[in-house]
C-alpha cells in the first residue's frame, strides 16, 4: 500500500449548500474539527461513518453533463438505499435532480446533486 484515502473532494459553487445536501442525504457532521484540514469559506467537510467528503469552492464550476463526453462526469458516488422510491423522493426534495430513472435497471437510478455532480442510488 502506498497511500491511505483521506477524503473525496467535490468542487462546487456553494460549499455550505452542497455539504448540507450531502448531510441531509447521508447523515454525519459538517465541519467536524479535524487536524488534517483548515476549514474556511473555501473548504467544508462532512464526516460520515469514518469517511470524509470535502467541498471546495470553485467559483467558475461547470458541472458535468450527463452522458455528454464534452463535459464527462469523471467520477460519481454509489449510495446504497433500502427503498429506492422513498430515497428518490427525499433526494428530489433536497434539491437533487433525476438524470436516469434506470428503467432497464430496476435496482439503481442516477441523480445530480445541486452542483451538478452525478451520483447513483443503488437498491441494497
- Domain limits, the chain: 8-57, 77-123
- Predicted model pTM: 0.85
Secondary structure of residue 90 in the 3-state scheme: helix
Could you tell me where the beta strands, DSSP code E, fall in the chain? 8-12, 29-30, 43-48, 51-57, 77-81, 97-100, 108-112, 118-123
| CB-based contact 102:109 (threshold 8 Å) | yes
114 confidence band (pLDDT: 50, 70, 90): very high
| CB-based contact 31:6 (threshold 8 Å) | no
Give pLDDT, residue 9.
92
Q: What is the pLDDT of residues 19-52, one digit of tens each?
A: 999 999 999 999 999 888 888 999 999 999 999 9
At the top level of CATH, the class of 77-123 is alpha beta
Q: What is the pLDDT of residues 76-89, one digit of tens each?
A: 898 999 999 999 99
Predicted confidence (pLDDT) at residue 17 exceeds the cutoff of 80: yes
Closest of 124, 61, 113 to residue 91, by C-alpha: 113
Which fold would CATH assign to domain 8-57?
Answer: 2,3-Dihydroxybiphenyl 1,2-Dioxygenase; domain 1 (3.10.180)
How high is the mean pLDDT of the chain? 91
97 confidence band (pLDDT: 50, 70, 90): very high
CA 30 to CA 19: how far, in whole Å?
7
Amino acid at each position: 500500500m502506498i497511500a491511505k484515502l483521506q477524503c473525496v473532494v467535490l468542487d462546487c459553487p456553494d460549499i455550505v449548500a452542497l455539504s448540507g445536501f450531502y448531510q441531509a442525504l447521508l447523515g454525519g457532521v459538517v465541519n467536524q474539527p479535524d487536524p488534517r484540514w483548515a476549514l474556511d469559506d473555501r473548504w467544508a467537510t462532512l464526516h460520515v461513518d469514518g469517511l470524509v467528503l470535502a467541498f471546495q469552492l470553485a467559483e467558475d464550476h461547470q458541472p458535468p453533463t450527463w452522458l455528454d463526453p464534452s463535459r464527462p462526469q469523471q467520477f460519481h458516488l454509489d449510495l446504497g438505499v433500502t427503498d429506492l422510491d422513498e430515497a428518490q423522493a427525499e433526494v428530489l426534495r433536497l434539491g437533487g435532480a433525476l438524470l436516469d430513472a434506470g428503467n432497464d435497471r430496476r435496482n439503481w437510478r442516477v441523480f445530480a446533486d445541486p452542483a451538478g455532480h452525478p451520483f447513483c442510488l443503488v437498491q441494497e
